[in-house]
Amino acid sequence: MPETRIVHAADDEMKDAVRAACALLRAGEIAALPTETVYGLAADALNPAAVAKVFAAKQRPSFDPLIVHIASRGDLKTVAIVPDDIVETVNQLTTAFWPGPLTLILPKHPDVPDLVTSGLSTVAVRQSAHPVFRAINKELGKPIAAPSANRFGRISPTSASAVMKELGGRIPLIVDAGACSEGVESTIISIEPRAGKKPVFHLHRAGPVTKEQLQDYGKVEKVREKPGDLPHAPGQLPSHYAPLTPLVLLEKPEDFKPEPGKKYGLLSYRGEDDGAYITLHDWETVESLSPGSGKLAEAAIRLFFVMRLLDEAGLDAIIAEPVSETGLGVAIMDRLRRASANR
């Protein structure tokens, strides 16, 4: 196994970190890079051999497509072909949300390898807002394919230390820029034009750009997945973002039926001492998404960090309390439902 090196990207070290990452990516290697959502496992998106290393390191099935990241809005034409009937809508969305955590599914450019898109005729593309990722993307001069830097289906990493736990010894480099600012993966949509009306945005994955924000530009409809369907966008498999410890999303407190002798931990929203979930059981440990305040933005940032803490606590099961499905709460509940699907 190769040794995994960590380079830090603080202000005075950023140039060295960018050079180190770009040297590896140009050589057809892979590296874990920070984005504003989660850490990504990066490769030159136009190099099929490099992209194959991403799939191998993550143990990711080849039918699950990757997101391609571009350095600027002007680079969109290098990876996608935007149909005339959605050009105006794409311009509106990219002006409003790029750089940022919105991924658009568009017809792919022939230069994008089929491995990146899992053979689909479309490509998922976004422009990251993270200054380190953007600097590497710009310096490299090529689009970057970068799914989350973790073993396939596991908890997404929001810190360099979490990447090391997941992929240490499997990748050559991690660029450490501290904790991610958003904490959940990007929102993914595809666009359906409608003559004389606002377009329909098919929501493939909820994320930091919320339904409420998107509704200013079009009608939002959630994509209904069917069991057995292959994914048409990244992160769509029913079981995903999951700890090794079984996680149960407890929609109603009265449904909790603990088994004697088992150790249970609670993934709480606010962690209030008199909360309906806190008082249910003598928990081995309690971790809170937004201690005391119940702020969805804080909960999103802490979600994967808290899940990882509970996964490492020696429990028999993690019981997760639901959050309100408004705004960012939709993305949080999506991750919790997928994390609980493997139990």
How far apart (Å, rounded) are the C-alpha atoms in residues 84 and 87? 5
pLDDT band at 224 (very low <50, low <70, confident <90, very high): confident
- The stretch 144-168 carries a mean pLDDT of 96
The answer to whether residue 250 scores a pLDDT higher than 60 is yes
8 A C-beta contact, residue 153 and residue 237: yes
The full set of domains in the chain, from first to last, is: 5-176 (3.90.870.10), 247-342 (3.40.50.11030)
In this structure, what is the dihedral angle of CA atoms 222, 225, 230, 231, given to the nearest 10 degrees?
A: 30
How far apart (Å, rounded) are the C-alpha atoms in residues 239 and 242? 7
Which pLDDT score, from 0 to 100, does residue 89 have?
98
**Half-sphere exposure in the Cβ direction for 213 (13 Å, CA):** 17
pLDDT band at 240 (very low <50, low <70, confident <90, very high): confident
Residue with tokens 């990757």: 66
The answer to whether residue 9 scores a pLDDT higher than 90 is yes
Q: Across all residues in the chain, what is the average pLDDT?
A: 94
**197 contacts: CB under 8 Å, gap ≥ 6:** none
pLDDT in tens, 99-145: 999 999 999 999 999 999 999 999 999 999 999 999 999 999 999 99
pLDDT band at 1 (very low <50, low <70, confident <90, very high): low
pLDDT band at 227 (very low <50, low <70, confident <90, very high): low
